[in-house]
């Protein structure tokens, strides 16, 4: 087989490999993205659960303070009526303490309302997060499964193409192969063009008769404009 035919064959194999790699390319990224989302959701869930614990403790503390103050107020009110107060000074001091405790209760009751709202919101969010996490884990599992089945589906084909490729390149001169690689990358995977009506089939540039003849004789010929390997089908002969 001529070098030109080897290059055409190599080109075909490379394009098939490119398609396979493209097919496999998207899924690992998607799986990675889902894994990151899963991590983030798990971390946020842990934070929310910590906050919920703290809020529950704060609620208890507030409730205790309110109960204690309420008790103090009641005791003081009893003293006001049981005749244990004898001077105006004592009376004023007692009223002041009662006011102080009343303010404290009112302040703590407001705090308590906010804390209870926070607890409510957190509990709902945690529930939602847990359900989202379940969905995400299921989604991740199914994507991984799809990836693995696609992988096994094409891995045989990929292996045989890679084997074919390594067999082909054994027959191609290193410098020509290097040139092919450069053109392949520079021309986005279209490194070979057929000569059609004495023109390059890819860029449309005129190919001189001398080069067309060389191509017909299966010599390695490049397009003077785009640099691609050009070949002439035998059928036009």
Report the interface residues with Zn ion, using CB under 5 A: 200, 203, 205, 223, 225-226
Judge contact between 7 and 176, C-beta under 8 A: yes
Residue number, 183 or 226, with CB nearest to Zn ion: 226
Residue number, 156 or 209, with CB nearest to Zn ion: 209
Residue number, 136 or 221, with CB nearest to Zn ion: 221
Residue number, 10 or 229, with CB nearest to Zn ion: 229
SS (H, E, C) 152-181: HHHHHHHHHHHHHHHHHHHCCCHHHHHHHH
Q: In what order do the strands lie in the sheet with 229-231?
A: 199-200, 192-196, 229-231
Residue number, 35 or 205, with CB nearest to Zn ion: 205
Q: Which helix (H) or strand (E) holds 195?
A: strand 192-196
Cβ 225 to Zn ion, closest distance in Å? Answer: 5
Q: Quick check: helix, strand or coil at residue 112?
A: helix
Q: Which helix (H) or strand (E) holds 198?
A: none
CA separation for the pair 231, 142 (Å, rounded): 47
Cβ 201 to Zn ion, closest distance in Å? Answer: 8
Judge contact between 183 and 228, C-beta under 8 A: yes
Judge contact between 167 and 206, C-beta under 8 A: no
Cβ 214 to Zn ion, closest distance in Å? Answer: 15
Distances in Å between the alpha carbon of 131 and those of 45, 73, 136, 177? Answer: 11, 47, 9, 55
Alpha carbons within 13 A on the beta-carbon side of 20? 19
Residue number, 136 or 193, with CB nearest to Zn ion: 193
Cβ 205 to Zn ion, closest distance in Å? Answer: 5
Cβ 7 to Zn ion, closest distance in Å? Answer: 15
Cβ 237 to Zn ion, closest distance in Å? Answer: 21
């Amino acid at each position: 087989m001529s070098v030109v035919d080897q290059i055409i064959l190599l080109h075909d194999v490379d394009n098939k490999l490119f398609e396979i790699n493209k097919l496999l390319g998207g899924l690992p990224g998607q799986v990675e993205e889902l894994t990151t989302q899963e991590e983030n959701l798990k971390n946020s869930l842990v934070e929310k659960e910590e906050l919920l614990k703290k809020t529950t403790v704060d609620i208890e503390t507030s409730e205790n303070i309110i109960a204690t103050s309420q008790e103090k107020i009641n005791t003081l009110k009893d003293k006001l009526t049981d005749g244990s107060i004898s001077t105006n000074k004592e009376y004023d001091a007692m009223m002041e303490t009662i006011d102080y405790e009343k303010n404290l209760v009112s302040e703590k009751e407001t705090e308590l309302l906010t804390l209870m709202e926070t607890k409510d919101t957190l509990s709902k969010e945690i529930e939602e997060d847990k359900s989202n996490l379940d969905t995400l884990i299921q989604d991740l599992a199914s994507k991984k499964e799809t990836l693995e089945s696609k992988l096994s589906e094409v891995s045989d084909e990929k292996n045989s193409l890679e084997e074919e490729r390594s067999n082909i390149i054994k027959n191609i001169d290193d410098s020509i192969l290097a040139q092919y690689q450069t053109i392949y990358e520079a021309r986005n995977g279209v490194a070979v063009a057929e000569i059609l009506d004495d023109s390059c089939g890819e860029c449309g540039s005129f190919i001189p008769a001398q080069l067309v003849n060389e191509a017909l004789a299966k010599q390695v010929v490049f397009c003077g404009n785009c640099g691609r390997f050009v070949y002439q089908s035998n059928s036009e002969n």
